[in-house]
Structure 1
Amino acid sequence: MPLLNLLQLAAGLLLLIVGAELLVRAAVSLAARLKIRPLLIGLSVVALSSSAPQLTISLQAALAGSPDLAMSSVIGGTLFNLLVTLGLSALVIPLRVARQLVSIDVPLLIGACLLVFFLARDGWLGHLDGGILLVGLLAYLLVLLRQSWHSPRPSVISPIGQPARYRRPWLGDLASLTRIICGLLLLVEGGQLLVDGAMDIALELGLSERIIGLSLIAIGASLPPLATSLIAALRGQRDIAVGNVIGASLFNLLGVVGVTALISPVPLSISPNTLSFDLPVLLGVCALCLPMFYNGYRVTRAEGLLFIGLYGMYGVYVALFSTGMPQARWLKEAMFYAALPALAMYLAYGAWRASRSASRSNRGE
């Protein structure tokens, strides 16, 4: 593997992280001055900013004639967000889950995954499919807007938790807009470097675009949202940590896939392995979030560790599949018929116990 390609990847990742940091800080600053709840900030502004690297990478991959790379990076990045980012954040501090996530956002996430699965069943995502996904994103944004109207408005805080003070408010807005523009420029350049370097490595090692997208590109694009949620968890902003993960996953499935399919000069191809394995696994993980969040409206350290372990199994499968090892088929069956069902039963049992406990409390027992 040429040293130049590795340096190109490192430079691309660095620009993505710096650009995303600028974008997130500026976006949170603007949203906080508008007195939006932390959960809604995480679900909307922070999540949209965190998804910007993924959108940049997918668009550039599609325009460069690599539709498999564009689609697989979205699936891999969303899996990384839900399993690793959520899991590591829960290991830092047990996460509190707002009731809105259980009643609205997670069901919408499951529905978004089902919609992508349904549209991709013929092996392609064309312009019409992209338009349908963007309509779904618009509907979700309207739901968030309605929630912001009917929610109590907190006091204005800055992203680092200190009271925001501006003698001239327009200067703060101008500074935030400048940081947003600089962050977007860095994201575009970083995404270009990352895609070019990954494609060169794929050709050098003889790997498919799907494998590169699911692994290297997906993890690289997910580093900014991972850093955002970890920092939020460390600062005690647990609503932002969880909201960022769910919101970024929704933006990935509806916004990134939708915009990429709409703008791509050719339809996005969906490989048979993506349809038979990657998308079903993603759908299963989205569905697992519902009982896990309902169980006491929290994510414990043990549950976070289980999610990280599940991603480890998925990563091992991708590695075995890319090298043509026969153990990949056994691990695939183990995930479908053992790991995912066992985890679902464990989480469903916890949700059932939480439901019984809440029912007893309501009856005054």
Structure 2
Amino acid sequence: MLIPFVAIIIGFLLLVYSADKFVEGAAVSAKYAGLPPLLIGMVIVGFGTSAPEMVVSAMAAFDGNPELAIGNGLGSNIVNISLILGLTAMLVPLSVHSNIVKKELPLLVLIVLLSGLLFWDGEFSQVDAIVLLAGFFLSIGWSVLSAYRSKGDTLESEFATELSGPLMPLNKALFWLIAGLVVLIISSRILVWGAVEIAHSLGVSDLIIGLTIVALGTSLPELAASIIAARKGEHDIAVGNIVGSNMFNILAVIGISGVIEPVQMLSSEVMSRDWPVMLLLTVALLLMAFGRNGQGRINRLEGGALLSAYFAYNGYLIYTVVAN
């Protein structure tokens, strides 16, 4: 038990470090290539912060643990909204001004509903996974068009500010892009091994491990990014980072794992417990972001409610494990 636990700790530390370097290398390389700041922020950074979830879920699927991968995708979305946005809003109340973020939120709700439709029959086939991956490429295309059409959006100015500082040399950026990805893969492999070993030792399902330990660990890059952005006054980045990450988690993270290893019999708890929680939190975020008369704001009270939802959900998961 000790060795798998140490493997999880080492995996988490390397995962966070490599994800940060990978995103930095990718963003700087994209800027050298002449891409606009909004496109870099929405696609490159958004994709990069979801890289841990993607690699971990792919590794889990390759190892024959597809429910750990699905739990990671669903659990990361729950963590992102309840824990990360809840904690961020309690530290710094968030105002949502960006029209891009407000357009992405209804799209996120539709993506969540689509995933529920695909899970409804109790399995997750390769065809279902391909549908999600097709949606992923469509969302990338939509993001690219939005980046070129949405001139003057507050999200654009915030990303421009973030990318206005001195840049590392291109060769260094390319090194961290490649090295970050390699370490990301290695650390994900270590993390998945440790998580699966602990799950089997405790008699806990792969789904529960994916929803809790793995989801929390792979969401650490989003936690750091959102808190740092909020403290800088870049509220739309803080919220937009979560919205984009959640879209990628469903479409790409779960989609990739399903292509590699379909699930013939999905745990009934996915549709009776986990997916509804994700849907409710997503709808709650939509309502908060639009607010009254379009004045979106996530205040400390709402942040506390989101944070309470995180602890209540995880407390229930722990209770179900202990009770069984």
What TM-score results when the alignment is normalised by the length of structure 2? 0.90
Q: Using the TM superposition, give the Cα deviation of residue 63 of structure 1 relative to its aligned residue in structure 2, in angstroms.
A: 1.0
Instruction: Give the counterpart letter for 1:187 in structure 2.
Output: L
Q: Using the TM superposition, give the Cα deviation of residue 98 of structure 1 relative to its aligned residue in structure 2, in angstroms.
A: 3.0
1:59 pairs with 2:55: no
1:180 pairs with 2:177: yes
Distance in 1 (CA, whole Å) between partners of 2:225 and 2:14 is 15
Compared with structure 1, are the counterparts of its residues 99 and 12 closer, same or farther at alpha carbon in structure 2 (3 Å cutoff)? same
Deviates more, 1:53-62 or 1:145-154: 145-154
Residue 229 of structure 2 corresponds to 232
Give deviations 1:6-47, integer Å, cap 9, x for gaps: 211111001101111101222333455546355x54432222
Residue 293 of structure 1 corresponds to 289
Give deviations 1:297-328, integer Å, cap 9, x for gaps: 22212211110011111011001011117xxx
Whether the 8 Å contact between 2:55 and 2:185 is mirrored in structure 1 is yes
Distance in 2 (CA, whole Å) between partners of 1:155 and 1:208 is 45
Residue 36 of structure 2 corresponds to 36
Compared with structure 1, are the counterparts of its residues 41 and 235 closer, same or farther at alpha carbon in structure 2 (3 Å cutoff)? farther
Q: Using the TM superposition, give the Cα deviation of residue 187 of structure 1 relative to its aligned residue in structure 2, in angstroms.
A: 1.0
2:165 to 163, 166, 173: 163
Distance in 1 (CA, whole Å) between partners of 2:280 and 2:159 is 37
Q: Using the TM superposition, give the Cα deviation of residue 157 of structure 1 relative to its aligned residue in structure 2, in angstroms.
A: 7.8
- What is the 5 A alignment of 1:1-365? 2-32=1-31, 34=34, 36-37=36-37, 41-101=40-100, 103-152=102-151, 162-164=164-166, 172-264=169-261, 266-267=262-263, 269-295=265-291, 296-324=295-323
Whether the 8 Å contact between 2:100 and 2:146 is mirrored in structure 1 is no
Match of 1:96, SS state, is strand
Match of 1:323, SS state, is helix
Compared with structure 1, are the counterparts of its residues 155 and 307 closer, same or farther at alpha carbon in structure 2 (3 Å cutoff)? closer
What are the ranges of 5 or more consecutive residues in structure 1 without an aligned counterpart? 167-171, 326-365
Whether the 8 Å contact between 1:58 and 1:70 is mirrored in structure 2 is yes
Whether the 8 Å contact between 2:37 and 2:163 is mirrored in structure 1 is no
Q: Using the TM superposition, give the Cα deviation of residue 80 of structure 1 relative to its aligned residue in structure 2, in angstroms.
A: 0.1
Match of 1:318, SS state, is helix
Compared with structure 1, are the counterparts of its residues 262 and 92 closer, same or farther at alpha carbon in structure 2 (3 Å cutoff)? same
What are the ranges of 5 or more consecutive residues in structure 2 without an aligned counterpart? none
Distance in 2 (CA, whole Å) between partners of 1:165 and 1:189 is 27
Q: How many residues align?
A: 317
Runs of 4+ residues deviating >6 angstroms: 153-159
Compared with structure 1, are the counterparts of its residues 16 and 43 closer, same or farther at alpha carbon in structure 2 (3 Å cutoff)? same
Whether the 8 Å contact between 2:19 and 2:52 is mirrored in structure 1 is yes
Deviates more, 1:209-218 or 1:92-101: 92-101
Distance in 1 (CA, whole Å) between partners of 2:255 and 2:277 is 20
Distance in 2 (CA, whole Å) between partners of 1:52 and 1:102 is 21
Instruction: Give the counterpart letter for 1:280 in structure 2.
Output: P
Instruction: Give the counterpart letter for 1:36 in structure 2.
Output: P
Whether the 8 Å contact between 1:102 and 1:294 is mirrored in structure 2 is no
Q: Using the TM superposition, give the Cα deviation of residue 102 of structure 1 relative to its aligned residue in structure 2, in angstroms.
A: 5.7
Please tell me the root mean square deviation across aligned C-alpha atoms, in Å: 2.3
Distance in 1 (CA, whole Å) between partners of 2:95 and 2:31 is 20
Distance in 2 (CA, whole Å) between partners of 1:147 and 1:35 is 13
Structure with the greater alpha carbon radius of gyration = 1
Match of 2:315, SS state, is helix
Match of 2:27, SS state, is helix
Whether the 8 Å contact between 1:130 and 1:261 is mirrored in structure 2 is yes
Q: Using the TM superposition, give the Cα deviation of residue 277 of structure 1 relative to its aligned residue in structure 2, in angstroms.
A: 1.0
Whether the 8 Å contact between 1:42 and 1:242 is mirrored in structure 2 is no
Whether the 8 Å contact between 1:207 and 1:322 is mirrored in structure 2 is yes
Compared with structure 1, are the counterparts of its residues 257 and 269 closer, same or farther at alpha carbon in structure 2 (3 Å cutoff)? farther
What TM-score results when the alignment is normalised by the length of structure 1? 0.81
Give deviations 1:150-186, integer Å, cap 9, x for gaps: 12276898886653468xxxxx333222211111111
Q: Using the TM superposition, give the Cα deviation of residue 268 of structure 1 relative to its aligned residue in structure 2, in angstroms.
A: 6.1
